[in-house]
Amino acid sequence: MRHHRLFSWLAALGMGLAPALALGADALPEPYEVARSLRALQDRIAAGDAASYRGYRAALAEDAVLLSRAADDAWKEPRNVRAAVAFVLSGGEPVILKKLAELSSGQEQTLVRAALAYGENRNAAAAELLADLEPRKLDASIAGHVALVRSELLAKKDPDKALELLAEARLLAPGTMIEEAALRREAGLAADKGDADRFGSAAALYFRRFANSVHMGNFRRQFAANVVAHSVADDGPRRSSMEAALASLPNDSQQELYLMVAWEGVRAGKMELVRWAAGKAAAMAPDGSLEQVRAKLYEAAALVTTEELEKAMTTLEGISADKLDTEEEELLAAALHIGKEIRRGVEAPGDGDKPPAGVGVSAVAATARKAIARVDALLSGERR
């Protein structure tokens, strides 16, 4: 009977929610079956199913209706209560939990009250209720969710504990969307702390385990931004960590990430970082390839206000704009303009004075800061 009922429910969901509800209360799935279906959808998203990702919010809305139609007797089973908690901790509407706060007891009641507070954005109350719950001692259906949510609630107050909980979430729910989300958050939190080794290891795991995730594009952009903003590759040992994090990726993926780091470095004015990242990208790129051209552009743009002005200008003048996208064309034009202004300053200093002996181009370049400021709007735009 149970298998027949579940089959009817799944078939009805394939045709939309209304037919499922038309089957009547006796034919509706139990809450734990709803949660099982939702987990399967989440795992398809983690594996890169774009259609599942686009349909996730609609699925949550449908599941909310199914849970609201469950009979009161269903909530006498702890697994059904845990299913409702997992639903809310996954982003579902918390209304169902208001009813369960009165029906459940013991640990399930604590979970219900905590999830309800979290769903209603009462984060302080949620953190307090979850504080004494050890994820490892909870049922497997809810343990990873609790670890992930607790880490989120503690991220600002206690980042070390938050990182510990993220590692726990990964171990409790391997291969799931919980692990995928935990790795993304772990990398970001480690970067915030300036922990290059942990940032690199979390990123490497994410690249390896969730290469097809629908979140990969955003993660790559955030990876590059974190490398630059949090100085996790500003010296030799830290760069080694970053190189190790990327080493297992295919060459083209490594090139693209190094180029993204170089672009962020140009925006931030971190010339040495740009030289490293662009150099790594150029070394992997075939001669004359677009990737090599981009790498040379970024490096030269970073060098244009240093003692290596002439090297930068030679590179910039040899780049054909027709190989670049719009933003890169604008960067090339801006860098050439700045370089020419600096050259004029070097060749014909004001009032007929020559730069003092021993003063290099970088000192003269200080007079060109106003010119550089004119392209700040370009460099502050988000790279597409």
The answer to whether 133 and 115 are in contact (CB under 8 A) is no
CA distance 352 to 214: 61
Q: What is the pLDDT of residue 26?
A: 55
Which DSSP state fits 306? S
Counting Cβ atoms within 10 Å, is residue 188 exposed (0-12), middle (13-18) or buried (19+)? buried
How wide is the angle at C-alpha 98 spanned by C-alphas 181 and 122, nearest 5°?
50
Q: What is the pLDDT of residue 384?
A: 42
pLDDT tens for 174-213 read 999 999 999 999 999 999 998 988 999 999 999 999 999 9
CA distance 251 to 258: 11
CA distance 211 to 184: 12
CA distance 250 to 247: 8
pLDDT tens for 317-361 read 999 888 888 888 888 888 898 888 888 876 654 544 444 444 444
Please give the model's pTM, rounded to 2 decimal places: 0.79
* pLDDT, the chain, mean: 83
pLDDT along the chain (384 residues), means of 10: 34 40 63 94 91 93 94 91 95 90 78 95 96 93 96 96 97 94 96 92 93 92 93 86 87 93 88 91 91 92 87 92 87 89 69 46 42 46 45
Q: What is the pLDDT of residue 109?
A: 87
DSSP letter string over 127-184?
A: HHHHTT--GGGS-HHHHHHHHHHHHHHHTTT-HHHHHHHHHHHHHHSTTSHHHHHHHH
Q: What is the pLDDT of residue 382?
A: 45
Q: Give the total residue count for the chain.
A: 384
Q: What is the pLDDT of residue 347?
A: 62
Residue 343 tokens, joined:
């050259």
